[in-house]
A and B are shown apart, each in its own frame.
Chain A
Amino acid sequence: MDLLLVDDSKTMRMLVHRAIRQAGYRNLTVCEAGNGVEALEKVRMEKPKLILSDWNMPEMSGIEFLRALREAANQTPLGFITSESSSKLREIAMRHGASFLIVKPFTTEDVQAALDPILGGN
């Protein structure tokens, strides 16, 4: 599994998936989760190379998911896709080990710029 997409909105999962394809990553294998709890299980089962996660989600927020991941000694790169863009939120994300933060609404170029350094281009 290449990429795990975590968002409680089906619409946003569809839009991110589309942007990933438009960024040239057409052959990536992608699995999805609707919240952090589900995502932890998918990480264990699917072992993705990269995780893209929403910040505000029911059950377990994006930052709680990242904390749980790191506490389990899992260092899979994780980037947030969020509508919030404050410097404080960005600082919290990076302090907990996030690789990047993409702000909604995003462009294909935003997604490509975030993915290329981790997935090595397409």
Chain B
Amino acid sequence: MPEPSAKNMTQLFTELVGRAVTFSPPASAAPSPAKQIYAVYQIKPMDSIRVIHADAMLLASMAGALIGLPYEGVKERMADARVDEGLADALREVMNIASRLVSIEHRAVFKAIYEDARMLPAEALGVLRDPCYASHFEVRVDGYQGGRFSLLAPY
């Protein structure tokens, strides 16, 4: 699978949220201990599945920056048992726009996000557990919390 470069990811997300977002190779290959959010994409025309998983606070930070919610507000909302609809909607939009780089060769259609890996559809869970291809990034978001971002593919 042709890899989305850190440079392309940096450009896309910086343009999207309107502040500096920097993607770089991770310092460590160890899995992130932070709570994760999972996004599932369908690749057309093959109908194969790709999965992005990333630290929840990283994605919430990008979503907050997108709608102009300060970092303190993002933290407060993420501390609640149920994330408020405004931030959740912005988070879905961040992951929807990420579909542009999920596949470089083919059309990627964003399907859904999940807060719990156990809720993933079987095919997506299979990709998460045993990806043939994985691309990991460490992400910084100016003025917000950064974190780990991974793209997984079955081939």
Contact (Cβ within 8 A) B93 A12: yes
Q: Of residues 65 to 110 in A, which have CB atoms within 8 Å of B's CB atoms?
A: 83-86, 88-89, 103-105, 107
Contact (Cβ within 8 A) A105 B16: yes
B99: interface (CB < 8 Å): yes
What 1/0 flags go to B44-75 for Cβ under 8 Å of A? 00000000000000000001001100000000
What 1/0 flags go to B114-128 for Cβ under 8 Å of A? 000000000000000
Q: How far is the CA of A56 from the CA of B100 in the complex (A)?
A: 13
Contact (Cβ within 8 A) A11 B89: yes
Inter-chain contact total with CB atoms closer than 8 Å: 44
Number of interface residues, chain A, beta carbon within 8 A:
17
Contact (Cβ within 8 A) A84 B15: no
In the complex, which of the residues B63, B89, B97 contacts A10, with contact meaning CB atoms closer than 8 Å?
B89
Indicate whether A105 sits within 8 Å of B107 (C-beta atoms), given known contacts A10-B86, A10-B89. Answer: no
In the complex, which of the residues B15, B89, B107 contacts A89, with contact meaning CB atoms closer than 8 Å?
B107
| Residues of A bordering B, CB below 8 Å | 9-12, 14-15, 56, 83-86, 88-89, 103-105, 107
